Amino acid sequence: MKSISRKQFLLQSALGLGSVMLFSGFDFTSTKTDGDFVIGKTAFGKVRGRRERGMNIFKGIPYGGSVSGDYRFARPAPLEPWKGVRDAIRPRPGWL
């Protein structure tokens, strides 16, 4: 196994994280703050999270639609876009 320098490791980690954020559907480059709250824009609508210790934290953002009924034990239904700003301050009820 080839060892890499700390500088190479940090560069590769930063590039990897940047590509994940770029292709994840989240656009946090345009995040605006509202007191200790932040508003993030996703492909499906806006979400409100918190800013704590210099980090934007969003909890309970859905990644798919319904998983009950016809979608039980199958792929979730497609996620429907929402209007307005969806709270992502705490996990949704029933989520772990």
pLDDT 10s digits, 9-64: 777 777 766 655 555 555 554 455 556 899 999 999 999 999 888 888 999 888 78
- Residue 30 is which amino acid? S
Produce one character per residue of 34-57: b if its CB has 16 or more CB atoms within 10 Å, e if not.
Answer: eeeebbbbbebbebbbbeeeeebe
Q: Is residue 66 a part of any domain in this protein?
A: yes
Q: Is residue 21 a part of any domain in this protein?
A: no
- CA angle centred on 16, ends 13 and 20, rounded to 5°: 140
User: What's the pLDDT score for residue 92?
Assistant: 74
Q: Is residue 5 a part of any domain in this protein?
A: no
- Residue 24 is which amino acid? S
Domain that holds residue 50: 26-87
User: What's the pLDDT score for residue 96?
Assistant: 46
